[in-house]
Structure 1
């Protein structure tokens, strides 16, 4: 595995002749199961298959493509699975046919076989990608090699029958605003209000587990002293936890807890002990949970946000808290799932700006895309820093999301497990006062990949929107683009740019549809825009009764989309040579503070902008009614009101 940084000792690096390769020694995907990096050649029945697979994977690990870096360890591990699928097809459907005897009809049959499995387009392409790579590796395969060039070298996108342009679009669904809003609010509630209670409950539970180890024998006096203490404090006997388990019968979890908490014994004793607990239950009544950790009041109700903790509730609430931290970090930083899972102790730090005024929150992690495992920094906002501080106080080892599954064993929260946690947290939001509404009658299915896509979409489409509380997307974009998350290596800026391009194209299509419906622009640049839309309509023959090719329409409007800047008072189809806002040597983009929408040749004003001008007219009229204005101020306001009325009259005239 030349040219790859290692995460393990070189001594454990697999050797070529080994029956099992553990590629995890060079794997940087903290969101993957360790077993996904195991290559077990013994799983192939025929020796010729094992040797061919060994040579192919060695070639993939050590041969740099003509363009681009070495494939990631995750990619090679996935290719092992796809290679096994192809070998299994040859063994079961073609009697163990060797690679050097495979013909194009056999490959066509394999394509039909994969289609029959119901794979999505992306999955089908990934399944077949191993075939052209097998052919490229043929000179390096001495045992058996694929001689025929699959589909004569045609791109798989054409073989499968998909549009390559459409395949480049991000198909990850965006989380709807009505879902992401309460979800982030609930996550903030857990991190800022609930976290301290859960951490304190964990400390109490750890102290109890330590104390149990020192309990020897039984003591009725300790039990009675504990029960008398509950009565003195006005509390009940631990009997029912939030999972609905009753403790009226001896041997229940609550009875065991009472014995351990009181120091009367390590487990249920029966006889006199059960009788004393039963008598206390009748006298004091039950208390859900039973642990001593105080519960913070809910800001919305002033009541405790939950009943007292039980031992079973502590790891359950820890799981919800860890998930809440994940939501804040993933959504408010723009980091990938694999990069979030690489966060470790001490990853958060702060820096002041050059003038010493602004404090920037930063986190260190690893850029995992492509399997490089390169250490990088991200600029984040305060809620992300708060979530990381909470994660550092939760039980973990190495990575912050490496959670304990027993006293001495830890496990990384993989992507699939985190998806389960996310949906469990979404369902739990209702119980803590932040209900997440259904979408189309069904609960929204959350996945780890949706957060980065969603925040990129909102920054591009709703830059001045608010996600929860005082968190604004504009503030998010400034922080993300200032730091590493906005650079080309991370790819987040590119994702936002792609979303912005799609948003501008959608806006241009809307304005084209307005044009077809008879809406015309009244501003200096309106005639140019109307002429352009008219040319597109004429070329496509896009008239009532005809159906036009949507892809061709979008292709013709893309030029306008690249220069469109949508505004409240006008739309700017920016061209530097006619822009009134641009100064000599200034940036090659609109300067919004200098915009003259009623005079600039780039400006178009239609009926969709009329409400903005009417609001401006109302503001000006109210300003004129102020008694203390000077003559100069009153003259300027009257001229401004005259200009506004002129624009509104022009819009009405153009569309009547």
Structure 2
């Protein structure tokens, strides 16, 4: 009953810090933009680079680089690949006119993919070759090398629409591939609440069905000497992130690994360093990518588990779900003291969740107001008359405002007015409470001035009797479920006559509520 009453079991203080909302939201949005929008482009650019590096048929065995180059230059269709910036230019031979040749790509083009090193080596050996390329008559052949000339358009700063990236050479492509891997890692960490060891232990094809819902299978290492394989439920976007990470990975078994052949084990994943690089990368390019800047903050992987626990813990039955997801479940319980500690909000998140709840309440109120202005009966219950009167008041104010010159009523204005008028209303599973302390039956018998008398108590709510109670069609499924439970209980012949009479009275009240809801037009 503690979950219903709102009284949590004693929580264990968790030292893990949470990410502030100002960091969490832009970071998560950037990760999803990479996974859902940028990933196809990045994978396409990598594929093009790999195709370019694939060994082809050389122009002839034993031929000198000079002969190969001369033959290549004789074909006017061949263009000279250029770097997009002086940052990558050949420092041994600077150019004042911006003609910065991409020597590695040019070498691959000339050699048919056999070598990138045609123009490497000592000055004495490669300078004559470079002079041939840099001759004045070849300047018209220069073209900026771009692995992704067809990058996807996004809404950039200022409302313009343009490609999210331009002039992608191999170095930028690899930077983006690592950024995409980091985005996948962070997104999965945030929404699955897996530990770093569990994330890095995810093997290929990790998504399975678990009790009819998608889940990740991986191994639990902490507090588990057997390192047993366990399953964590996920949502579809997490499965999408895992699919992208798997396509990026070059490791034969691991999902999160290196994205190119740079180390013998192909497991080059350093989350702390990668996260810092990802944030710096986003902040350097956020304008053209159409993303928000991410505030500077010391971010570590374990913070995602803690932060998501705070958000999930505020949902109905959230502590039970957290106990299962965090693997804190005890033998005869669904959560323990550590779970409560993880879900305990920080001051920043307490304020953020309060705002989020107010926004969600305003959306529900707006939907009910639109239904009422269309002529529907939207609510029943002792507080329905007061509730609809307040909605009518807001509707009248909006109508008067809309008629004034220069004023346009939009959804934001509607929600702001509703938030102001219904500042104390709270929606629950069985009803909405108007929050008027003077009318609250749940406060009967509470001494005035005590902490208990300063706020309504949902655990003592009598939704079919209290003048604060408003019941809409959204609440109907919970009433029907309660009716089903009571009918089932009444079939038990062992209950006493007194208890049976009480249950029958309660069943009658519930059926009356359901009947009233069924007569409303908001179904």
Q: TM-score category by the smaller chain?
A: 0.5 to 0.7
CA shift in 2, pair 1:205/1:501, >3 Å:
closer
Residue of structure 2 in register with 1:369 after alignment: 222
Match of 1:267 among 112, 118, 130: 118
The one-character-per-residue Cα deviations of 1:291-346 (angstroms, maximum 9, x if unpaired) are: 44444223315422212332222321111010010121011112122211111101
TM (normalized to structure 1)?
0.45
Query: Are 2:443 and 2:457, in contact at CA under 8 Å, matched by a contact in 1?
Result: no
1:347 shift after superposition: 0.7
Residue of structure 2 in register with 1:427 after alignment: 283
What does 1:328-343 correspond to in 2, within 5 Å? 328-343=187-202
Q: Distance in 2 between matches of 1:408 and 1:204?
A: 24
Residue of structure 2 in register with 1:276 after alignment: 133
CA shift in 2, pair 1:227/1:400, >3 Å:
farther
Residue of structure 1 in register with 2:325 after alignment: 485
Residue of structure 2 in register with 1:524 after alignment: 440
Match of 2:77 among 228, 239, 243: 228
Residue of structure 1 in register with 2:102 after alignment: 254
Residue of structure 2 in register with 1:32 after alignment: none
- Structure with more contact order per residue of length (Cα contacts < 8 Å, sep ≥ 6): 2
Query: Are 1:183 and 1:434, in contact at CA under 8 Å, matched by a contact in 2?
Result: no
Residue of structure 1 in register with 2:397 after alignment: none
The one-character-per-residue Cα deviations of 1:549-572 (angstroms, maximum 9, x if unpaired) are: xxxxxxxxxxx6xxx9x9xxx833
CA shift in 2, pair 1:500/1:400, >3 Å:
closer
Query: Are 1:197 and 1:296, in contact at CA under 8 Å, matched by a contact in 2?
Result: yes
CA shift in 2, pair 1:381/1:482, >3 Å:
farther
The one-character-per-residue Cα deviations of 1:464-489 (angstroms, maximum 9, x if unpaired) are: xxxxxxxxxx9x969x9399526535
Match of 2:167 among 295, 308, 311: 308
Query: Are 2:16 and 2:306, in contact at CA under 8 Å, matched by a contact in 1?
Result: yes
Q: Distance in 2 between matches of 1:226 and 1:379?
A: 59
Query: Are 1:329 and 1:387, in contact at CA under 8 Å, matched by a contact in 2?
Result: yes
CA shift in 2, pair 1:370/1:437, >3 Å:
same
The one-character-per-residue Cα deviations of 1:362-395 (angstroms, maximum 9, x if unpaired) are: 2111112225321011111111111111111113
Match of 2:88 among 242, 245, 248: 245
Structure 1 segments unaligned to the other structure (5+ residues): 1-165, 231-235, 354-359, 464-473, 537-559, 583-590, 597-632, 638-656
CA shift in 2, pair 1:254/1:168, >3 Å:
same
Match of 1:182 among 26, 45, 54: 26
Residue of structure 1 in register with 2:234 after alignment: 380
Q: Distance in 2 between matches of 1:523 and 1:283?
A: 84
CA shift in 2, pair 1:272/1:487, >3 Å:
closer
Query: Are 2:208 and 2:216, in contact at CA under 8 Å, matched by a contact in 1?
Result: yes
CA shift in 2, pair 1:350/1:304, >3 Å:
farther
Query: Are 1:486 and 1:492, in contact at CA under 8 Å, matched by a contact in 2?
Result: no
- What SS does the corresponding residue of 1:299 show, helix, strand or coil? strand
CA shift in 2, pair 1:437/1:209, >3 Å:
closer
Confirm whether residue 444 of structure 1 aligns to residue 329 of structure 2.
no
- What SS does the corresponding residue of 1:378 show, helix, strand or coil? strand
Query: Are 1:520 and 1:526, in contact at CA under 8 Å, matched by a contact in 2?
Result: no
Query: Are 2:203 and 2:218, in contact at CA under 8 Å, matched by a contact in 1?
Result: yes
TM (normalized to structure 2)?
0.55
Residue of structure 2 in register with 1:89 after alignment: none
Query: Are 1:240 and 1:254, in contact at CA under 8 Å, matched by a contact in 2?
Result: no
Residue of structure 1 in register with 2:400 after alignment: none
Q: Distance in 2 between matches of 1:224 and 1:503?
A: 66
Q: Distance in 1 between matches of 2:210 and 2:223?
A: 29
Residue of structure 2 in register with 1:320 after alignment: 179
- What SS does the corresponding residue of 1:335 show, helix, strand or coil? coil
Residue of structure 2 in register with 1:33 after alignment: none
The one-character-per-residue Cα deviations of 1:250-301 (angstroms, maximum 9, x if unpaired) are: 49882232122332763214325433345477325551xx144444223315
Q: Distance in 2 between matches of 1:244 and 1:489?
A: 54
Confirm whether residue 200 of structure 1 aligns to residue 44 of structure 2.
yes
1:405 shift after superposition: 5.6
Query: Are 1:174 and 1:450, in contact at CA under 8 Å, matched by a contact in 2?
Result: yes
CA shift in 2, pair 1:238/1:485, >3 Å:
same
CA shift in 2, pair 1:267/1:319, >3 Å:
same
Q: Distance in 2 between matches of 1:406 and 1:594?
A: 57
Q: Distance in 2 between matches of 1:381 and 1:310?
A: 35
CA shift in 2, pair 1:527/1:409, >3 Å:
closer
How many pairs are equivalent?
A: 353
Residue of structure 1 in register with 2:273 after alignment: 417
- What SS does the corresponding residue of 1:211 show, helix, strand or coil? coil
Residue of structure 2 in register with 1:47 after alignment: none
The one-character-per-residue Cα deviations of 1:502-529 (angstroms, maximum 9, x if unpaired) are: 689x89xx9xxx9xxxx99212346558
CA shift in 2, pair 1:409/1:529, >3 Å:
farther
- What SS does the corresponding residue of 1:171 show, helix, strand or coil? coil
CA shift in 2, pair 1:172/1:280, >3 Å:
farther
Q: Distance in 2 between matches of 1:318 and 1:451?
A: 22
Confirm whether residue 296 of structure 1 aligns to residue 151 of structure 2.
yes
CA shift in 2, pair 1:412/1:297, >3 Å:
closer
Residue of structure 2 in register with 1:571 after alignment: 456
- What SS does the corresponding residue of 2:267 show, helix, strand or coil? strand
